[in-house]
Structure 1
């Protein structure tokens, strides 16, 4: 961003090019730490349900009749339980080591997803009973959720730089994203057809209360746990590089570990203050991820290649994408914040019934 602004035709942008770097760094930090906060809530939600239903868990997998739990321990207690383990995990700084955990997590997640698909394709109710269209407010939340789901720009350069054959990154990226798109569409469509307005923020919370599907929640939580450090890597590198530049060499390790610990604690506090998985996903996606994914990239292309006689089609495409991202950012952020400040019945807080 900074280098593009330094070479653009506009003198004011060239003079203030460093602010481009600061802006992108800030958005990356907010986005990636937002991802980590969502991971906290996901693991806590599933851990809470597993623990509190353990005494009634059976070997027979029947459809879940009651979504509401009478909580014996607050969800925040489970977040605090996870906290020390995540602090130890983020002390691992080598991406190659983390990639081993990520691979194991991916295998675990795919196995769990296969079991989820096996369940949701059985006895799907008549989809004609579902509403054809939700309200426009729901679409605004969907926009943020969709952008959040596909936003991975913070890890692109980090992963590419650690690859043995970085020239093959484009193939890996396209193949991986294609598979992810297919899985998301299938799981989202079939999941909503199966559970309707009772679909919760995490579909694992809709699974039957039997040992087989309790193990699915456990495996998913383990997978999310091990990928946490990958999402944490980018903002940690940005912040730590600034901090250690201000201390002597003998204090570098202490400063590094202290910042990592403080950041994980900050993420935990944010998750405790706003324990709404669905709305936090939408808020992070609308507020910062849309800027990184839809607003800044076409803007960069315009200011970098405009002097080289860009085609009208490319210019129009970039302008349309930027406008779409800006509108989604403004209205999606507003709607997510509006929903967050509304009083809500926490017995259905993570269900899509909230928005029907």
Structure 2
């Protein structure tokens, strides 16, 4: 049994940080014309509106909830300005990836290339013999960072679920129906947050045992509805009675800025979904407009919630804004509702590393043991994300670390280098080369400094950070 057969029969290679379980590639490619934007034919392809919804869904998740703390780490003025700049650069890199993918589709007469294929073909077209001979490493590098990013997302989900459920349970004895005159309550101590993570472990293992993507699409719908309702309620809270912002610093100390960078790039890391979304459109020529409109909406949501959340909660803002919600039943239900959405989203984020890793092991197992090996590998991967979450139980540091380590590579470092490698032999202006070099250097600096600061803060915190059981969160 070959790995290729396993991929063709059991897995759809989206190579994406977002999975749309409802859609799968069509087998009919006979009508493909060289240079065409149409990839998989007409069956089940998405409209411009559906593509826009998928784009928004794939970018708005737990990273959004961490942006108020990110703004605190950058400053009330520096934070939104930096978010705007990072958003513009990230969207530009998405456009670069689409342009390079179209180039190789026309050049190689292929109906579709994903992120890994594009990098591999870019290295194959390089004038350097060494790069051409090691072109297959391009796909391996992209797959590696996709795995790290997606498993990092899953680890973030463990911490998010544990923190929110722990807070709801500890505050249950003081939860009221009055959401306006909320007072500090005496919390009822419960078990450590790591034990909550272990409590969620068997349920998440059972969830990822679901391998049918159409079944997962039902969970995706539930997750989207619950998270949308929660976000509306959060916005409704943060725009009310905003405190005087004059005591908040416009520019935060530079030591905390790398933590801002990691969180921001974690939120904007949706580049892996760009090519699959463009490929599934009925009219792919509309995709550039949809990309820029959709990401403009995403950037506006990021900046608005980041600033409003920081203005509302000030220095007490936590790793997820849900942990700052008032101690009344309405907002406690919002925490639980968003947590339910994150719980179901875990299986969708888990799908991408699963379809990269599992075929490697299953293809080497006896045919009668394939299902057992599949389930064992899934269990081991979920346990790995749980272990990583227990080692770094601070939600803000997990988000910053994942963003700095892997998201910066996929979103900022690789695309500009890919453009240089792809088009240098065909003639590029020095200004374009300089622009690409600056973006890659920015991404690499964020990768190094952000990772270092996150690890340093984890090993030796510079200040007492507000834990999820702090009474001040309910004032």
Same fold (TM > 0.5): yes
Partner of 2:3: none
Partner of 2:257: 139
Of the candidates 27, 31, 39, which is equivalent to residue 149 of structure 2? 31
Match status 1:217 vs 2:335: yes
| Aligned partners of 2:161 and 2:339 also within 8 Å | yes
Distance 1:313 1:343 in 2: 42
Q: Secondary structure at the match of 1:348?
A: coil
Distance 1:234 1:322 in 2: 25
Gap regions ≥5 residues in structure 1: none
Distance 1:165 1:97 in 2: 24
Distance 2:135 2:225 in 1: 43
Partner of 1:120: 238
Match status 1:340 vs 2:453: no
Of the candidates 124, 134, 148, which is equivalent to residue 6 of structure 1? 124
Distance 1:53 1:233 in 2: 34
Partner of 2:270: 152
Partner of 1:291: 409
Distance 1:326 1:141 in 2: 14
Distance 2:399 2:381 in 1: 19
| Aligned partners of 1:63 and 1:208 also within 8 Å | no
Structure 1's 272 and 57: CA in aligned 2 closer, same or farther, altered over 3 A? same
Deviations 1:165-201 (A, max 9, x none): 4836656544443332222111111111011000011
How many Å apart are 1:95 and its aligned residue?
3.7
Deviations 1:51-100 (A, max 9, x none): 11112111111465549956321101111111111112212234444333
Distance 1:336 1:235 in 2: 24
How many Å apart are 1:321 and its aligned residue?
0.7
Name whichever structure is richer in helix by fraction.
1
Of the candidates 187, 201, 220, which is equivalent to residue 83 of structure 1? 201
| Aligned partners of 2:171 and 2:185 also within 8 Å | no
Partner of 1:320: 438
Distance 1:346 1:130 in 2: 18
| Aligned partners of 1:32 and 1:154 also within 8 Å | no
Of the candidates 183, 191, 205, which is equivalent to residue 309 of structure 2? 191
Q: Give the number of aligned pairs.
A: 351
How many Å apart are 1:334 and its aligned residue?
0.7
Give the root-mean-square deviation of aligned CA atoms: 2.4
| Aligned partners of 1:148 and 1:282 also within 8 Å | yes
Structure 1's 202 and 240: CA in aligned 2 closer, same or farther, altered over 3 A? same
Partner of 2:163: 45
Match status 1:73 vs 2:191: yes
Gap regions ≥5 residues in structure 2: 1-118
Match status 1:15 vs 2:133: yes
Distance 1:267 1:139 in 2: 27
Deviations 1:202-231 (A, max 9, x none): 111111111100110011001111111121
| Aligned partners of 1:68 and 1:347 also within 8 Å | no
Deviations 1:20-75 (A, max 9, x none): 22222211111110111001111111110111111211111146554995632110
Structure 1's 67 and 286: CA in aligned 2 closer, same or farther, altered over 3 A? farther
Distance 1:159 1:226 in 2: 21
How many Å apart are 1:5 and its aligned residue?
1.2
Distance 1:255 1:55 in 2: 45
Partner of 1:181: 299
How many Å apart are 1:7 and its aligned residue?
1.9
Distance 1:276 1:230 in 2: 23
Match status 1:93 vs 2:93: no
How many Å apart are 1:346 and its aligned residue?
6.8
Match status 1:54 vs 2:172: yes
* More displaced stretch, 144-153 vs 335-344: 335-344
Partner of 2:80: none
